[in-house]
Amino acid sequence: MASHDDLEQAVRLFDGHGVTHGEITRLPSFGIDVLPFEDPDSIQLELTVPAT
C-alpha cells in the first residue's frame, strides 16, 4: 500500500524533472494525504495515499 513516504519520493522525482507541484497536504476528514501536480497540459492532478 502507498504511504506518505511515497508522496515524498514523488516530490523528489517531480523536482528532478521540473514538474510543477504543490505541497503534501493532510485532509483528515477524508483520511488521506494529497500531492497536487500539473501534467504537461497544465491540468491539475493529485496523488493520494491513506493518512497514517
Q: Which domain holds residue 23?
A: 4-50
Q: What is the pLDDT of residue 17?
A: 96
Q: What is the pLDDT of residue 52?
A: 85
Q: What is the pLDDT of residue 1?
A: 87
Can you tell me the distance from the alpha carbon of 31 to that of 50, in angstroms, rounded to the nearest whole number?
6
- Total structural domains in the chain? 1
On the CB side of 28, how many CA atoms lie within 13 Å of its CA?
0
| 45-50, Cβ contacts within 8 angstroms, sequence gap of 24 or more | 47/6, 47/7, 47/10, 49/1, 49/2, 49/3, 49/4, 49/6, 49/7, 50/1, 50/2, 50/3
Q: What is the pTM of this model?
A: 0.91
Low-confidence ranges of the chain (pLDDT < 70): none
Quote the strand ranges of 1-52, DSSP E: 25-27, 32-38, 44-50
